[in-house]
Structures are given as C-alpha cells and as structure tokens.
Structure 1
Amino acid sequence: MRTKQELGAAIRRDRRAALVINARSRRGRQHYERARARLVESGFDLLGTYPVDRPGQLEESLAEAAGLGPDLLVAGGGDGTLSTAARLLAHRDFALGVLPLGTTNNFARTVGVPLDLDAAVAVLTDGKVVDVDLGLVGNLRFANHVGIGLSADVMASTPPRLKRLSGRLAYPATALALLARHRPLRARVRAEGREHEFVTHQLYVANGGFHAGRPITADANADDRLLVAYPVGGPHRRELLRDTARNAATGHRRTLGDEPFLAVRQLWLETDRPAPVEVDGELYGETPIRIGLDANALRVLAPADSPDR
C-alpha cells in the first residue's frame, strides 16, 4: 500500500482513473455523459467507463473497473452505490472519487464533496486523499448507518412491484401504512461497560455525519473513530414523527454529548423480539447484532482543506 501522499501524487501526475455510474437512476442517466466528458476535459485517462443500467450489475462493474488498476475509481450515484464501492475498495491501494448523484447523498456530505457535479469533479482534480472509517456488522462494512425498527420493516415489507412502479416513493408509502400498526421495540445497547435501554419505533447506529441529507449532530463525521447510536422518538408513534422532524431541523445545532446520542467505538444491540436489520438501505439479518468500526478503512479523494486524522 502506498502512503496517502504517494497515492495522491500518482493521481495528480498520471490521472489514471475508471468511472462507474449508476445509470439506473434518473440523475445517473442524465449526468453520465457529462461526468465522463468533464473528467476527460480535466485530463483524466479513463481506463474504463461503466454506465450501470441493470439490477445486480453494480458490484460486477466496480470489480471490473478496479481490475484495470486505476489509482482513482470514480463512483457516481447515491448512498447505496457509494456504500457498495466503499466495501469493495476498503484496505486497497485505490482512492474512491465521489460523484453525488443520489437523493440524500449522505456519504458525499460527510466527506465534504460538493453536490454540484462540476464542483465534485474539481475535487477529483484538486483534492487530497484522506482516510475515513467504515462501520462493521459481522463481516459486512457499511458507510452510513444501520437501522433497526420501522426502517428495516419497510425494507422487508415494500412490495417489489410497488418499487418498480414508484421508485423511492414506495418506501414512504409503505412506512405510512406500517406505522399505523407498528409495535415499538425495547432495545438494549451495551457499550463500554454500560447498558442503555430504549423503547422506540426506530433506532439508528450511524458511522457518518449525515442522515436523510441532514446533519445528525454538528460534530459527527466519518473520521472520528466513533459510532453514533440514537433512537428516534419513544414508544408512541407521534413521537417518531415529531423527532424525525426535530432531528432534520436541529441536527446542525446539536452535539454528540446531547441526549439521546451514544458515541461509542463498538456496541452490542438486542431487542425484546427478533427484529430485521437494514444496513445502508439493504436488509441484513436480525437482532441481536454486534456493530463495530473499521478505522481508516477507506481512502477517499476529498476537498484539499478536509481534516484527516
């Protein structure tokens, strides 16, 4: 493995890159040609370009792109695309370049990449290589969050036909239908010699600093060696709706020291009944689960003024 400085120097000198864009989304289809053209105009030697337009093709395309031996693998898409790329590139001698083409773009926001496409390409030209942490559930790495409660039940219950017809709108529609009869969970979190108990319809464990496109707290980020566990609301359904709105409006003013956030390096989570778990928007088993950190697991090309521990 080269040092970050050596890898950054190679990217600036040789401009060897590969491009993978999730073209199944509307924004991906719209921006694929523009992104490819902007990278070429910026002097990058594109060893391969992959517009992914079929289900199940993303991992294959990312692996093929990595096999070309670029110094920089540029991935364009939403958080699911970037989380998949992060798992593939963890602890490998590449840097991940981020083109935020999703809806909430939590990972891009966490690492400071601008949401404007031209500005994001400029980061690939003028930025620096930094290390960021990834979370771990079993052997599965994640970039953004683990969800237990309503969010995982929605993933498990949304009909495939509704997803095909409605896209992302299928999830809030399913959530509203489920919420009317959703039972709260009694969740126990054991971490650093202490036990915490929550009765809630939704619990998150975040690695990054953003959720649903908004800051979780002002001081959470993907390079702080910390996971952030927090419930959204209490046992009553109206509390889930209230706290969802409050978190979106006030996250930038809150800190990890505030209630109800738990900032820890690893944790064990169990619930009063087996509950499905979603990891970065994909179903992954049931509780109980252990969640930990893979520190400095991923190299990312970030803005030149980004902090890097």
Structure 2
Amino acid sequence: MSRHKEHRVRGIVEEAGRARVSGLRSKEEHTAAIRKDRRVALVVNTHSRRGRRKYLAVMRLLHAEGFRPLGAYAVMDPRRLPDTIETALALNPDLLIVGGGDGTLSEAVKHVPGTDAALGVLPLGTTNNFARSLGLPLDLARAIRVFRVGKVADVDLGMAGDRPFANLTSFGVSVEVAATVRPWLKRVLGRAAYPLTALTILPHHRPFRAVITVDGRRHELLTHQLNIANGRFHGGWQIARDISIDNHTLAAYQLGSGKRLRLLVETLIRATTGRWQSLAGGPFVTGREMLVEIDPPLLADVDGEVRQITPLLLRSIRNGLRVMVPPDFVDT
C-alpha cells in the first residue's frame, strides 16, 4: 500500500470511529435493511486453507438463507484482494461478506470503514481469530445463518502507525514465524503449525528489551515475544477471560521472559491447552494508546503483514468497524 493510501485509510478509520461518518445509518436501521433487502456482495480468498474447497458450499448456503449476491468473487491471487474488495463495495451492498483467513479479513478492514456497508465474516482460515473474537460459529452453515438472524454492531479497530488491525500487532519470534511457516504445514496441522514452527526458531532467537509507554508510565521488559491485542484470540486460543474486541482498550502482553525455556514452556502450554488468564492477574499492560520502543528497532507483524518498524504508536479506534454478529453479542 502506498504512503498516500495509508494516510487515506487512517483518516477513514479514525473518522468512522469518531462518529460513524455523518449520514450513515444507525445499527438498527442497518440490521433491518440486511434482513429485509438482503443486498450482499461476496469475496472469498480461494487461495486460503478452506476457501477453494468451500466456495461452492458458501454459495449454496447463502442461497438457502435467501441471499442472492449482487456480485460473487473467488480470488485465487491474494494480490488482487484489495481491488476486488473495492469492486464489491462499489455495488453498494448492505453487507460485504468476506471469506478467508485472518490475513484476508485484515485486508477487508482497510476498506469497509467509512462506507455504508457492514462486514460479514466467513471463518475459512486456519486460526479464525477475528471470527472467534466476534463470537461467530466456526461451522460454516451456522456462520452464514448469522447474516440472516444476527445484528449489526460497531467494534473497535487497532491502529499501528498508519495501518488498521483487527486482531494483533506483534514483535519478536512471531515475525519470523509468519515469514517461515509453510503453507502445506498449515493445511495439514491447522493452527498447531504456528507454535511448532516457533519451536524450531526459538533456539536461535535472541531476546530483546522493549519499553511500552501508556499514560505517561513506562513499562520495561526483556522478552522473545511481545503482543498488542485488539481482539480476544491469538493462535485460535483466548488470550484472557476479560479481554474484548469492543472494550476500547488494547492489551499488551509478553510470552515468557528473556529465557528461552520459559517461552518454550508457555508456548507448549498455550498450544496444547489454550490456558485462560485474567487481565487482572496476568502480565498485561492495557490502555487506549501505547508507544512501543525497542533498541535496536524491530519489525512488527500487523495482522500477518510485516510492514511497520519500531518505535511504533498503537491506538484503539472506538467503534471503528461495522460488522454482523450473533444476536447475543454484547455491543458497547
């Protein structure tokens, strides 16, 4: 993405978060329009783990729920996703349905804010962190039923510099994992491919010292891995009991310390049990705005894209994204 477009995206997201952009419908009006008119457009990343295999099933299930997409796009080349999403939004759908992994959905959240469309999520990826954070069923038929019986909600987005993110910005081992994990391993093992790849990298990885400044207070740590979460899930497991994608707060936490053995143990525990923690009792720093400084500077993985570098300012954009969620989702 060009620097000019990055600033444009940042402006759109922040404006959407401030006032949902003057003239947009209320959530109640938007929900009623989707249920009544069923004007939807569909974009599926058929390069993703399940996208190609499930595309025809998605079309069949949408038809069964009474949806006839204004346009349906199967995208084999992920480089075409930005233009395809813009093409689908140009049809003025009430609901833009996007299927793929978290990387596909992180691309969608750059385009939906500022439009009069809500984002509908199809969980077709490996970990489906964003879908889990929204409380969506991972079963495809039940997820599509949400488009008919669910409601429109406004949830938070994170901003890492000029880039919006739905789930996570991370530093350290995960950046190398994102560049190293094999597509075939993801297809075979699913979400377990990530911690297993991390275990091969960790013996050679050097810890780094990071400073996180929140509300004028500095938090210093030595670690192999630092995460800043907007959503509730990482690697398919819940980060903490009381974290939310709609609490207007980012949560920073480290995995392990500067000791490889401790990180190895924590990685294995998370990979095998998905252990819960509480923000009140775990190694968390929370706030609406965080400055991350690392010396020497490190690259950041922003929802699967390694593009930013420290020092990096991260912020929570309240109600920055309009989405379709189950009826029992708590929308604040």
After TM superposition, the score normalised by the length of structure 2 is 0.87
- 1:232 is aligned to 2:216: no
Query: For residue 229 of structure 1, what is the amino acid of its counterpart?
Result: A
- 1:147 is aligned to 2:203: no
- 1:125 is aligned to 2:148: yes
Task: Go from structure 1 to structure 2 and tell me whether the alpha carbon gap of 1:165 and 1:9 turns closer, same or farther (over 3 Å shift).
Answer: closer
1:197-212 aligned at under 5 Å gives the runs 197-212=220-235
Partner of 2:4: none
% same residue: 47
Aligned equivalent of 1:295, options 318, 329, 332: 318
Distance, in Å, in 2 between the alignment partners of 1:193 and 1:132 is 26
Distance, in Å, in 2 between the alignment partners of 1:137 and 1:172 is 24
Distance, in Å, in 1 between the alignment partners of 2:307 and 2:262 is 26
Distance, in Å, in 1 between the alignment partners of 2:153 and 2:172 is 33
Q: CA deviation at 1:59?
A: 1.3
Partner of 2:103: 80
1:261-293 CA-to-partner distances (Å, cap 9, x unmatched) read 112111001112111111011102211111001
Q: CA deviation at 1:154?
A: 3.4
Task: Go from structure 1 to structure 2 and tell me whether the alpha carbon gap of 1:120 and 1:164 turns closer, same or farther (over 3 Å shift).
Answer: closer
Secondary structure of 1:45's counterpart equals coil
Task: Go from structure 1 to structure 2 and tell me whether the alpha carbon gap of 1:28 and 1:275 turns closer, same or farther (over 3 Å shift).
Answer: same
Cα RMSD of the aligned pairs, angstroms, is 1.8
Aligned equivalent of 1:64, options 53, 78, 87: 87
Q: CA deviation at 1:26?
A: 3.8
Q: CA deviation at 1:305?
A: 1.2
Distance, in Å, in 2 between the alignment partners of 1:13 and 1:136 is 34
Distance, in Å, in 2 between the alignment partners of 1:154 and 1:263 is 25
After TM superposition, the score normalised by the length of structure 1 is 0.93
- 1:213 is aligned to 2:233: no
Q: CA deviation at 1:71?
A: 0.3
Query: For residue 212 of structure 1, what is the amino acid of its counterpart?
Result: G
Q: CA deviation at 1:45?
A: 2.6
Gaps of 5+ in 1: none
Aligned residues: 304
Q: CA deviation at 1:223?
A: 0.3
Aligned equivalent of 2:279, options 231, 235, 256: 256
Query: For residue 245 of structure 2, what is the amino acid of its counterpart?
Result: A
Partner of 1:49: 72
Q: Tell me which moved more, 139-148 or 19-28.
A: 19-28
Gaps of 5+ in 2: 1-23
Q: Tell me which moved more, 89-98 or 140-149.
A: 89-98
**Retained in 1: the 8 A contact 2:195–2:267?**
no
